Amino acid sequence: MWAFARAVCACLALVTLGACAGGPVSFEVDSPATAPSVGADGKAFKLEVASVRGAYRNVVALHINGYGELIGVSRSIEPVRDVIERAFAAELAARGIVVDGGQARTVRVYITAMHGDPILGLYRIWDRGFAAFTVEVVDADGAVLFLDTISAVEEDRLAMFDGVDDHTVVVKRALAKAFKALFENSSFVSALQRA
The backbone torsions φ and ψ at residue 5, rounded to the nearest 5 degrees and listed phi first, read: -60, -40
| CATH number, domain containing residue 100 | 3.40.50
Structural domain includes residue 95: yes
Q: Answer whether 0.85 is exceeded by the pTM.
A: no
State which residues form the domain around 54. Answer: 2-19+38-194
Contact 169, 140 (CB under 8 A): no
Contact 46, 106 (CB under 8 A): yes
Structural domain includes residue 111: yes
What is the per-residue pLDDT across 139-194, written as a single tens digit (0 to 9) for each?
999 999 999 999 999 887 654 444 445 678 888 889 999 999 999 999 999 999 99
Structural domain includes residue 65: yes
Structural domain includes residue 24: no
Better-predicted residue by pLDDT, 151 or 123? 151
Q: How many domains does the chain have?
A: 1
What is the per-residue pLDDT across 73-119, written as a single tens digit (0 to 9) for each?
888 899 999 999 999 999 999 999 999 999 999 999 999 988 887 76
pLDDT interval class at 6 (50, 70, 90): very low
Structural domain includes residue 28: no
Distance of CA 122 to the CA centre of its chain: 28
